[in-house]
Copies of this chain bind each other. A is one copy, B any other.
């Protein structure tokens, strides 16, 4: 395949030499829309194939100011919802000719800032923040450096930023309606100690909607956003004398934890004794053991929109936050 004896990457210079043309010709061959005659193009392509040449995107990015790199800042990648989001994003970005650089922001607050700063070292075309609550100053720094920023489910309203979010309040209201239609009146909400805008939006949306019809709702909010926290919430809420008959868990993971304890520790039947609604529609929600009524994250649509933002020619100054609807997936954890 290769005729050179020294190992390492092949440069356009070497291809040019073998093809008997100038380096410019090689460059133009791999630049769409550039002027090259068919025969030189063919000679170059042949030489490139012989040597195993691949355009160095880093060097290209140096001069053309666009690297094709998109940074994904995300914590808790191993979480079902976020991993499916990363899956969708990486795939769509690739289809659009970009490539995703994943910055793992798990850990302390400073680490998130370090992670975002890391982004700047690679002159990414855009940075997508999937989780973590980065400081306003850091985001401003990125914007100043010409970084295009896309925030998912954050609430920073700086000019130049693209905000993408879900209509959590509407979903919360729909959840309440479903509970009320099922005849439930003793409401509770289970959330985690992580006060991210999306979780808070779901919680307060539910509580506010309940208040509007004159109902109070018991709240559990401790621990990380995980199965164990939902389990802990169940132990607490179900141990009370006025046990709730309808529980809105702001995350499917919490809902699974809640259901596991409700069934295996309290011997309750779902939805006969307690109705449960989750959020995210993770894969496990559809498994027969849970069969959870929940709200689907429009993962594909969000990914499409993000790619649109990344690929857009102009950076519109003030774009209103883009709000997506989360359709309810009715399964069997709410009484009929």
Per the bound structure, the CA–CA distance linking A181 and B320 in Å amounts to 64
Stoichiometry, copies per complex: 2
Task: Decide if A121 is an interface residue (CB 8 Å cutoff).
Answer: yes
B99 and A118 within 8 A (CB): yes
Per the bound structure, the CA–CA distance linking A95 and B99 in Å amounts to 22
Task: Decide if A298 is an interface residue (CB 8 Å cutoff).
Answer: no
A140 and B56 within 8 A (CB): no
Which of A16-24, A59-67, A190-198 faces chain B? A59-67
Per the bound structure, the CA–CA distance linking A256 and B252 in Å amounts to 17
Q: Which of B1, B76, B123, B283 contacts A140 (CB under 8 A)? A: B1
A77 and B67 within 8 A (CB): no
**Could you say which residues of chain B place their CB within 8 Å of the CB of A78?**
80, 83-84, 86-87, 283
Per the bound structure, the CA–CA distance linking A299 and B121 in Å amounts to 28
Q: Which of B58, B76, B287 contacts A61 (CB under 8 A)? A: B58
Which A residues are closer than 8 A to B by beta carbons? 1-2, 7-10, 52, 54-59, 61-62, 67, 69, 72, 76-80, 83-84, 86-87, 90-91, 94, 99-104, 106, 115, 117-118, 120-123, 140-141, 144-146, 227, 231, 256-257, 259-261, 263-264, 283-284, 287-290
